[in-house]
Structure 1
Amino acid sequence: MSHLPQLTQKILLSCLLVSTLCLADENIIAVNKAEVAIDIDGKATEQVWNNAQWLPIDKHIVGEYPSSDDFSGRYKLLWDEDYLYLMAEINDDVLFDQYANPTEKYWDDDSLEVFIDEDASGGMHRFSFNAFAYHVALDNQSADIGPNKADGSSNFILLNDHVKSQWRRDANSPYSITWELAIKLYDDSFTLKGTHMPVKLTKGKVIGFMLAYCDNDGSSEREHFIGSHDIKPKDGDKNLGYIDAGVFGKIKLQ
């Protein structure tokens, strides 16, 4: 390019930059605003849900890829100033919840896992609140990993005040459920002590996001883990979302 006039070089570089940014934006999911309040009742009857696009839960993470008779899923997103709203349609032939304690091996029960990185900054978060991995169980409790205990052991915690959820079966299909969630977003200053205010959501905000489903039909461990976004494996392992927010996708509020 050095033999071209300087002005021409600048124009070409500018075009290349714009093209690169546009390609990057193609991977960001646009989320519409909910202009009316959404009742979290598992019914998803509000007309405003029609303004949101269906997105698939179909990317392999753990286990064999399930048949459509075993599991399939899709989801929608909306937002307002206070919440990110999620509606998921899950088809699962067996709903399984083997642990009564919501902080005991919750990843081996059927659950919806919602990954949130409030400022889309990426980075490690397994033992911090740089990002969150909410495991929303069939009893509608939300578990995650907090900072290690004083003895260095893992600290599995409930963050039920972050996520309001409700699901219902489809009366015409015994294997189909509709799940609604309202999620408060907290920044990385969140701790388990004191009072913390959730972030107010605004148009144009970009958020790290990923969704997945833990599917177990009665085994000691989950049989499938299927997500909304492709994850590049590290040492052959795709189960990285609960560790590294850099594997999340991104959504943009509009």
Structure 2
Amino acid sequence: MNNRVVSKNYKGELPAGDQSARFRVAWDEENLYLRVEVEDDRFLVSPELWERPKAENSLWVHDGALEVYFDTGADGRTNLEKTFDDDDYRYDFSISKTGESGPGQVNRFREVYHQLADGIHMPTKAEVAEKVVSDFQRTETGYTYTITFGQRYLEPLMLRKGFTSGFALYLHDNDEPMLGYCPKGLSLATQAGAACDYHPELWPLMILSE
């Protein structure tokens, strides 16, 4: 991940080694697996942020929060409105409330239209938070995410050879304890300096292969 995004309001420095990340994706007929390995010169744990109302729905305020996007119809480039549509997901991940390594927080921030994903039986947000597995591990130089998405939590994306979807990541970074949000990060958007939220036309295409 080498597309750096910096808020216009950010006045701090960007030292060498500020943040770097790489990712790997694998799949089988039951699960999609994502691993993100991050080096970060300063990783902040902010337990006070969990005291905010509906904190579980605002994981993006935490240092190291990860946004994962799927355009299950791979139609972001042909959407004339250039924004989310009915076949897009956004999943958010963060460190746990304890601030320790282990199972991390999971939130399905945005979901596809329910009729595309098993109708009235579509997984609830609560089920997603329990069943989408996210392991967050602190390391000497940063942290890692190891995430498992079951097929049920990606529909109508199909885990089969040749299936194409949009796929993107955005990784938050904050070096200032009192800031309360993350003013910079790393993005997979295809436009330099652009984040991924609300811009599926900038998400790379992912083609499942053997």
Q: TM-score, normalised by structure 2?
A: 0.69
Residue 205 of structure 2 aligns with which residue? 250
1:96 to 29, 34, 45: 45
CA apart distance, 1:129: 4.5
In structure 2, give the amino acid aligned to 1:178. Answer: T
Report whether the alignment pairs 1:216 with 2:168: no
Q: Which residue of 2 aligns with 1:130?
A: 87
**In the TM superposition, what is the alpha-carbon distance from 1:59 to its structure 2 partner?**
0.3
- How far is the alpha carbon of 1:88 from its aligned partner? 0.9
Q: Distance in 2 between matches of 1:91 and 1:61?
A: 16
2:173 counterpart letter in structure 1: D
Q: State the 1:180 CA deviation.
A: 0.4
SS of corresponding position for 2:201: helix
Asked if structure 1 preserves the Cα contact closer than 8 Å seen for 2:188 and 2:203, the reply is: no
| SS in structure 1 of the partner of residue 129 of structure 2 | coil
Q: 1:226, CA displacement in angstroms?
A: 1.2
**Residue deviations 1:103-123 (CA, integer Å, cap 9, x gap):** 13x322120111111221214
Superposition deviation, residue 69 in structure 1? 2.8
Instruction: State the match for 2:22 in structure 1.
Output: 74
Residue 162 (structure 1) shift? 6.4
Identify which of 133, 136, 140 aligns with 1:167.
136
8 Å CA contact retained: 2:23, 2:37: yes
Q: Which residue in 2 is equivalent to 1:84?
A: 32
Whole-Å separation in 1 of the counterparts to 2:191 and 2:131: 26
The residue matched to 2:36 in structure 1 has which SS?
strand
1:207-243 Cα deviation digits (max 9, x unpaired): 110111011122222121211233267xxxx33x221
When residues 117 and 66 of structure 1 are mapped into structure 2, their CA distance, relative to the original with a 3 A threshold, is farther
Structure 1 portions without partners, runs of 5+: 1-56, 148-156, 188-198
Q: Which runs of 5+ in 2 are unaligned?
A: 97-103, 113-124
Alignment length (residue pairs): 168
Q: CA RMSD in A?
A: 2.6
1:109 aligns with 2:62: yes
| 1:229 equivalent in alignment to 2:189 | yes
**What is the SS of the residue equivalent to 1:99?**
helix
The 1:141/1:125 distance shift into structure 2, 3 A limit, reads farther
Which one has the largest radius of gyration? Answer: 1
Distance 2:155 2:184 in 1: 29
Q: Which residue of 1 aligns with 2:120?
A: none
